[in-house]
């Protein structure tokens, strides 16, 4: 059903080819994608190139900032966002296909080794005045918007917590001026290693990847009452060459979905 929907949505984006055989393409497909997809989509792209001969050029970053760059004229052909709002905004502005959800994520807390916390006590820990709470930058990075949504849910659990959490949370990543991690370092592992936060709210995939670099870090699931699901939206520029739409559709196919699942993402 979803694959058929994507085919219809992208029908106006591609030019048909009379050659049914996969051939190496000199002009690459240009993909802009959320930073949380870096490891998974790099592997997906490598697999796609090996199977089809089609080259891809990948650019990763905060989804909101990427969308702004596209609106200013940068030549992305496929946009994979960590939310549905940014690709929908491109579609509403004209020139891009309606977005479709191609993968899902959820929020976890990345926690310093010395802090005693579990899922049941997570909100209680976040509200402690001495605990430094880190998050990404809302509007620029959907992870920050999801954190704000979590704060809103917390209000229903503990009155006054939304304002308290919003006030204390440090926007450490995802903004236009946010520092980049050193080459080869996971951004969230680096932030935690620098002591910038005691607890950092981020995607579970990011938290697990950070712990792979700094094994002492804790990954604490967010309790159901606070959990905010992250739906990742995909869109293709209208009039883009056929290989761009083909790659977008391939992201929903079993080989790509298996890679995404292995990196911790949920099915669309």
Q: Residues 132-172: pLDDT tens digits?
A: 999 999 999 999 999 999 999 999 999 999 999 999 999 99
181-205 average pLDDT score: 97
Is there a single domain that holds both residue 70 and residue 17? yes
Give the C-alpha separation, 153 to 127, whole Å: 14
Is there a single domain that holds both residue 121 and residue 195? yes
- According to DSSP, the residues that pair with 230 across neighbouring strands are 105
pLDDT band, very low/low/confident/very high, at 8 (cuts 50, 70, 90): very low
Is there a single domain that holds both residue 150 and residue 166? yes
In which domain, by residue range, is 35 found?
Answer: 2-104+230-262
Given a cut of 50, whether residue 5 has pLDDT beyond it is no
pLDDT band, very low/low/confident/very high, at 217 (cuts 50, 70, 90): very high
Give the C-alpha separation, 223 to 123, whole Å: 9
Asked if 232 and 37 touch (Cβ cutoff 8 Å), the reply is yes
CA-based R_g, the chain, Å = 19
pLDDT band, very low/low/confident/very high, at 23 (cuts 50, 70, 90): very low
The pTM for the full model equals: 0.89
In a domain, 268, yes or no: no
E-strand ranges in the chain read 25-34, 54-61, 78-80, 100-105, 107-111, 133-136, 170-173, 199-203, 218-221, 230-236
pLDDT at 26: 74
pLDDT at 25: 53
For 230-243, the pLDDT digits (tens) are: 999 999 999 999 99
| CATH number of the domain within which 14 lies | 3.40.190.10
Is there a single domain that holds both residue 126 and residue 99? no
Asked if 135 and 171 touch (Cβ cutoff 8 Å), the reply is yes
Given a cut of 70, whether residue 3 has pLDDT beyond it is no
In a domain, 36, yes or no: yes
pLDDT at 12: 42
In a domain, 200, yes or no: yes
Asked if 260 and 33 touch (Cβ cutoff 8 Å), the reply is no
Is there a single domain that holds both residue 7 and residue 18? yes
In a domain, 205, yes or no: yes
Given a cut of 70, whether residue 13 has pLDDT beyond it is no
């Amino acid at each position: 059903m979803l694959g058929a929907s994507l085919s219809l949505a992208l029908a106006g984006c591609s030019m048909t080819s009379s050659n049914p055989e996969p051939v190496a393409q000199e002009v690459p497909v240009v993909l802009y994608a959320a930073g949380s997809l870096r490891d998974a989509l790099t592997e997906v792209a490598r697999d796609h190139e090996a199977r089809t001969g089609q080259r891809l050029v990948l650019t990763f970053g905060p989804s909101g900032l990427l969308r702004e760059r596209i609106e200013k004229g940068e030549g992305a052909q496929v946009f994979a966002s960590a939310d549905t709002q940014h690709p929908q905004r491109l579609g509403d502005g004209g020139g891009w296909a309606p977005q479709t959800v191609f993968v899902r994520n959820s929020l976890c807390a990345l926690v310093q080794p010395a802090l005693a916390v579990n899922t049941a006590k997570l909100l209680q820990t976040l509200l402690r005045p001495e605990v430094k709470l880190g998050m990404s930058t809302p509007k620029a990075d959907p992870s920050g918007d999801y954190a704000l949504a979590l704060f809103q849910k917390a209000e229903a659990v503990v009155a006054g917590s939304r304002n308290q959490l919003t006030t204390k949370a440090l926007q450490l990543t995802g903004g236009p001026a946010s520092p980049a991690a050193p080459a080869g370092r996971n951004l969230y592992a680096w932030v935690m290693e620098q002591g910038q936060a005691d607890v950092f709210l981020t995607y579970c995939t990011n938290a697990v990847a950070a712990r792979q670099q700094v094994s002492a870090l804790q990954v604490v699931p967010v309790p159901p009452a606070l959990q905010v699901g992250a739906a990742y939206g995909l869109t293709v520029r209208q009039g883009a060459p056929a290989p761009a739409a083909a790659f977008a559709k391939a992201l929903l196919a079993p080989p790509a979905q298996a890679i995404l699942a292995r990196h911790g993402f949920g099915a669309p």
